[in-house]
Amino acid sequence: MRSIARKVISQVMASLKVHAEWEEWQRRYAHGAFYIFPPESVGRPVDELRSRYDARSAKYSSAHISLSEPLAAPLSESQREEIVHELACIEPFEVHYGPLRNFAPYPGVAYTITPETSFVALRNALHATSAFLDVDLNSESVPAHMTVAEFITLERSKELLDELSEKVSEGSFWCDEIVYAVPNDAFKFQRVLSLPLKRER
């Protein structure tokens, strides 16, 4: 298992290219980040909303909950093992998504994610590892969310929230793993590693 993970990481990192045409914020994600991806039954309808209301965001990634800051350097095997060790102490939990919200004064519409305490504990454990030693934790105060649209104006954000509120379903799913994802040459995020939370013995 470790040799396979090491090989996958090596292959992905060896192919990384930070393109000149990437915007500055995109370059920050060259070495990937960690996410919670919902199951297909949850992600599919959210992806349909993303494609309809923000095709640019949908092009970059499927439905997800951003968990960590982007890494400043390629993930090493020792860092992966350290993260696995930390995750083994984190209990799986049920994620509730909804209702929709915006982030005024910033643009965007997203699903609220709760329980916030479980999400924060998971994020803090991840950020406490050496993989994030030289990373500025700029998003620590940003509430957990699952984006529907972000590359839109403030005016459109308000309109879209009014348009969709109470018209999209809410629900829950079980979170028992996190995913390390890295953008390819076209800045489409690819799932590289799935790392489990605490498992029953």
**Is 19 inside any structural domain?**
yes
In the structure, what pLDDT confidence band is assigned to residue 8 with cuts at 50, 70 and 90? low
**Is 11 inside any structural domain?**
yes
Chain centre to alpha carbon of residue 171: 18
**What is the domain count for the chain?**
1
Taking residues 95-124, what's their average pLDDT?
Answer: 95
Q: What are phi and psi of 65, to 5 degrees?
A: -120, 115
Question: CB neighbours (10 Å) of residue 191?
Answer: 15
> What's the pTM?
0.88
**Is 149 inside any structural domain?**
yes
Taking residues 28-37, what's their average pLDDT?
Answer: 96
What tokens appear for 16 in the block?
A: 């990384």
What tokens appear for 132 in the block?
A: 């994030």
**Is 179 inside any structural domain?**
yes
Q: What pLDDT sits at residue 77?
A: 95
Q: With 60 as the cut, is the pLDDT of residue 13 above it?
A: no
CATH label of the domain that carries residue 96: 3.90.1140.10
Q: What pLDDT sits at residue 49?
A: 97
Q: What pLDDT sits at residue 1?
A: 56
Q: What pLDDT sits at residue 115?
A: 97
Q: Which helix (H) or strand (E) holds 146?
A: strand 145-149
**Is 87 inside any structural domain?**
yes
In the structure, what pLDDT confidence band is assigned to residue 142 with cuts at 50, 70 and 90? confident
C-alpha distances (whole Å) from 25 to each of 18, 36, 166 are: 12, 20, 33
**Is 165 inside any structural domain?**
yes
Judge contact between 61 and 188, C-beta under 8 A: yes
Judge contact between 47 and 156, C-beta under 8 A: no
Taking residues 77-97, what's their average pLDDT?
Answer: 96
**Is 80 inside any structural domain?**
yes
**Is 201 inside any structural domain?**
no
In the structure, what pLDDT confidence band is assigned to residue 12 with cuts at 50, 70 and 90? low
Share above pLDDT 90 across residues of the chain, in percent, rounded to a whole number: 79
Q: With 80 as the cut, is the pLDDT of residue 61 above it?
A: yes
Taking residues 150-175, what's their average pLDDT?
Answer: 95
**Domain region containing 157:** 2-196
Q: Who has greater pLDDT, 90 or 6?
A: 90
